[in-house]
Amino acid sequence: FRTGRKKTVRKLAVIYTTIWFLIFGSLVISSFLLIRNDMFRDRVIFIYGYKVKMIGE
């Protein structure tokens, strides 16, 4: 019983890490691709700067 339970826990842990890696990896890849696209990067910086300016005022 104990060994079976350990296997299930390990399987769940693997599933959770896989899902987490998929989400984190896709975020990193998408942000990297967006940053490489200069026009999009400038737009993001502009929007972010605008928001910061508004918060500052």
Q: What is the average per-residue pLDDT within 30-55?
A: 71
Backbone torsions φ then ψ of 32, nearest 5 degrees = -65, -45
Do the Cβ atoms of 47 and 34 come closer than 8 Å? Answer: no
4-35: per-residue pLDDT in tens? Answer: 677 888 899 999 999 999 999 888 888 777 76
Q: Check residues 20 and 36 and name the one with the higher pLDDT.
A: 20
Distance CA 13, CA 16 (A): 5
Instruction: Indicate if the pLDDT at residue 57 is higher than 60.
Output: no
DSSP label of 57: -
**Largest CA-CA distance found in the chain, in angstroms, rounded:** 63
